[in-house]
Amino acid sequence: MLNALYQQCKLCPRKCGVNRYEKTGFCKAYAMPKVGRAALHFWEEPCISGTNGSGTVFFSGCTLRCCYCQNYNLSRGNEGVVIDEKQLYKVFLKLQSEGAHNINLVTAEHYAPSVKVAVTEAKKEGLTIPVILNSSGYVSLDTLELLKDVIDIYLVDFKYMDSELSKMYSFAEDYPLITWKALEKMVKHKPKVIFDENGIMQSGVIVRHLCLPGHTKDSKKVIKQVFKKYKDSIVLSIMSQYTPMGKSKFENLDRKLSEEEYNDIIDYCINLGIEDAYIQEGEAASESFIPVFDGSH
């Protein structure tokens, strides 16, 4: 029984060991999946959102809880409604029937056993669109192995290369190492980026980097290391949309990324030889892109 994995939870690198049927660990999630929102979402990369939207399921709780989180109410506030695996697979099928290009599981790793059961069931019942693991990158290799057969696309953050930063902002000094290993495994699972005739991604890995104000140096380190190793076998997405949420105690995080900072990073990418990557216009840094997590599904 996969659900036994919730009883002494070691699903993520925190390895809390708690029985999630009785209490919560660092992620603040009990064993039953809690969903903040499930709907068509149009603000992912174009190869994910396409014209119809991405069938996005936002899960409640998080194994990182970054102090600047753009989905703060979801990751910290634990907003959402509890649903069982049967309801979850029906949500996937409903999103497909609404025209979604894919099922986009946002920070689902701490519910991996339920996700595996629900996707497997949904596939038996006719789910054919690709399934995306939309991950913070702070994910254990065992959990990736568990989900391997049900995931088509990895949409993974690479937030920091500096462990001091990951410790300070995300309580995870080991983030760079963990994410580096996780990325290695993801690329091993999906070594080739595949698009359909309309340019919608069907398989592969997208590495996202959200540029933080005041940390262009670390952004460059992340981009350099990832590009040098993976070149065109992954898609890079360099994001400028950082939105201050007013929850962090760090002064430099109280502002948006400046145009100069972002341009500096993009120039660096060009000098590195990156020819193909997603970049964002300044308007992307707006709270209007942050959905309401009212449990609707």
Q: Which residues bind ligand SF4 (CB under 6 A)?
A: 9-12, 14-16, 18, 20, 25-27, 29, 63, 110
Cα–Cα separations (whole angstroms), residue 63 to 28, 29, 98, 230, 297: 8, 9, 30, 26, 23
Contact between 196 and 144 under an 8 Å Cβ cutoff? The reply is no
Between 139 and 187, CB nearer to ligand SF4 = 139
* CB of 21 vs ligand SF4, minimal distance in Å: 11
Between 140 and 241, CB nearer to ligand SF4 = 140
Contact between 121 and 85 under an 8 Å Cβ cutoff? The reply is yes
Between 63 and 170, CB nearer to ligand SF4 = 63
Report which residue's Cβ sits closest to ligand SF4: 25
Between 14 and 215, CB nearer to ligand SF4 = 14
* CB of 161 vs ligand SF4, minimal distance in Å: 23
Between 104 and 143, CB nearer to ligand SF4 = 143
* CB of 263 vs ligand SF4, minimal distance in Å: 37
* CB of 225 vs ligand SF4, minimal distance in Å: 25
Contact between 100 and 54 under an 8 Å Cβ cutoff? The reply is yes
Cα–Cα separations (whole angstroms), residue 262 to 153, 204, 256, 266: 27, 26, 10, 6
162: nearest Cα among 144, 180, 135, 136: 180
* CB of 11 vs ligand SF4, minimal distance in Å: 4
* Backbone torsions φ then ψ of 95, nearest 5 degrees: -60, -40
Residue at 218: amino acid letter: D
* CB of 32 vs ligand SF4, minimal distance in Å: 13
Between 122 and 172, CB nearer to ligand SF4 = 172
Q: Which residue has the tokens 């929850």?
A: 247
190: nearest Cα among 141, 155, 140, 143: 155
7: nearest Cα among 19, 16, 15: 19
